[in-house]
Amino acid sequence: MASKKDFVKFDKVDKSYDGKILVVKDLQLDIAEGEFITMLGPSGSGKTTCLMMLAGFETPTNGEIYLDGNAISSIPPHKRGIGMVFQNYALFPHMTVYENLAFPLRVRKIPKDEADKKIDKALSMVSLQGFAARMPGQLSGGQQQRVAVARSLVFDPQLVLMDEPLGALDKNLRESMQYEIKHIHESIGVTVVYVTHDQSEALTMSNRIAVFNDGKVQQLSSPDELYEKPVNSFVAEFIGENNTFAGEVSDISDGKCKVKLANAEILANPISVKGKGEKTTVSLRPERALINPSDKMDNIHNGKIEEVIYHGDHTRVRINLLGNPEFILKIPNSSSNLDIKLGNEIKIGWNSDDARALDPK
C-alpha cells in the first residue's frame, strides 16, 4: 500500500488555555505515513501543546486533528493507539522492565506467549536483552530511555510521539541515542513525531522539520533546505549560526537586489522582499563567506579581525565588517591561514546567492 501523504493532519487547529492567548494559531500540518517529523522551536512556542493534542491529553480549542482519515478530537487517549515517549521516560517505577513492556500488551489482552515474543523483540531492538527482570531504578539514564522507546513500540503502534526524549541525557549519550532512534525508525518504518528544542538533534534525525515560533509553523521543510534556505529571519537565526546585516532595498532586478547599509551597499538574493525601499535583514551563513576570495564573487569587502577563537578543527574569527562588529567566519585549520592575526585587515567575499534578504527583524 502506498504511504499516505496526510496520515496525520492538523486542520486549522487553534489552542488556547486561558481564552486570551492562542498558544497554537491556525495550525495546518500534514504528516506522511512512515515519516520522521520533528517539531522544533524555543520553549513556549506551542510544539509540546501540539504533541499533547495529538496524543489526546489536550483538546484543540478549534479545528480538528485527523489520524489516518479519522477525526480524533473526541477519542480518549487510551483508544488512539499512539505510542509515546515522555520527557522523563515515565517508566512505571514499581514494575520491572518486563512488566513495563507488558503493560500495553496486557491491557490489549494479548496472550502471554505472543506478548513475550513481542517484548523480546522490542528489547532486542534497543539492545537490552537480559534486562527484563530489572527495576527501572536500577538502570542508567540511557537504558531507561531505551526501555521507554521499546515500551512505546512494543504494541506495534502506527504512530509514535516523542516529547524531548533525550533532554536528560549527557551529550555523548544523546548523540548515540539519536542514531539509535533513527535506525529503529528506518528499520520498522513507523511514523514518528518528535519534539525537541535542540536544533542539531532535529537536523540529524528528521525527514522534515517544522520550526515553531509564537504558535505558528514558521517553516516546514527538509533539514538541508531549512539550513540552506531559511524563509524568514527567525528560522535563519534559530537554525545554525547566522550573520546579519540590516538595511534597505535600493534596487531589485534579475533575481538580485541591492541592499543599502549604513555606509555601504551589498548584493543579495531577494527572498521576502518585493520592491525598492523595503526594510530587510540579510542573512549569511558563516561558512559561505571566504577570506581572500577569488574575484568571481560579487560581494568583496574589507574587515578588521577583532577576535580569534581556536576550536580544534576550525578557527572562528570575529570581524568588524560593514558596521557589523559580530560578523563570524569559520576557517578550517590548515597551515595556509597565516595572516589571521588580531587587528589585521582582511578581504572577505561571498556570492550574492548565499546572502538571503529576508524580512526585517
Specify the residue, 78 or 112, whose C-beta has the smaller distance to another protein. 78
* Residue 196 vs residues 85, 147, 184, 199, 318: alpha-carbon distances, Å: 12, 19, 18, 8, 30
Provide, rounded to whole angstroms, the least separation between the CB of residue 151 and another protein: 7
Nearer to another protein, 82 or 205 (CB): 82
Question: Considering the complex, what minimum distance in angstroms separates the CB of residue 51 from another protein?
Answer: 11
Cα distance between residue 281 and residue 286, in whole Å = 15
Q: Which is nearer to another protein, 38 or 48 (CB)?
A: 48
Task: Report in angstroms how near the CB of residue 83 gets to another protein at its nearest.
Answer: 7
Q: Supply φ then ψ for residue 242, to 5 degrees.
A: -155, 135
Shortest reach from residue 144's CB to another protein, in Å: 13
Please choose, from the candidates 350, 263, 336, 338, the residue with its C-alpha nearest in 3D space to the C-alpha of residue 308. Answer: 338
Q: Which of 209, 236, 239 is nearest to 223 (CA)?
A: 209
Nearer to another protein, 6 or 156 (CB): 156
Cell 478549534 sits on residue = 62
Nearer to another protein, 55 or 268 (CB): 55
Q: Which is nearer to another protein, 156 or 214 (CB)?
A: 156
N- to C-terminal Cα separation, the chain: 45
Whether the CB-CB separation of 213 and 41 falls below 8 Å is answered with: yes
Cell numbers standing for residue 252 = 531589485
CB of residue 133 vs another protein: minimum separation in angstroms? 18
Three-state DSSP at 3 gives: coil
Give the DSSP H/E element, type plus range, for residue 199: helix 199-205
The distance of closest approach from Cβ of residue 152 to another protein in the complex, given in angstroms and rounded to an integer, is 8
What does the binding site for another protein look like in residue numbers (CB under 8 A)? 55-57, 76-84, 86-88, 90-94, 103-104, 107-108, 151-152, 155, 161
Residue with cell 570581524: 319
Closer to another protein by CB, 77 or 240: give it.
Answer: 77
Cβ 21 to another protein shortest distance, Å: 17
Measured from the Cβ of residue 160, the count of other Cβ atoms closer than 10 Å reads: 22
- 250 and 259 in contact (C-beta within 8 Å)? yes
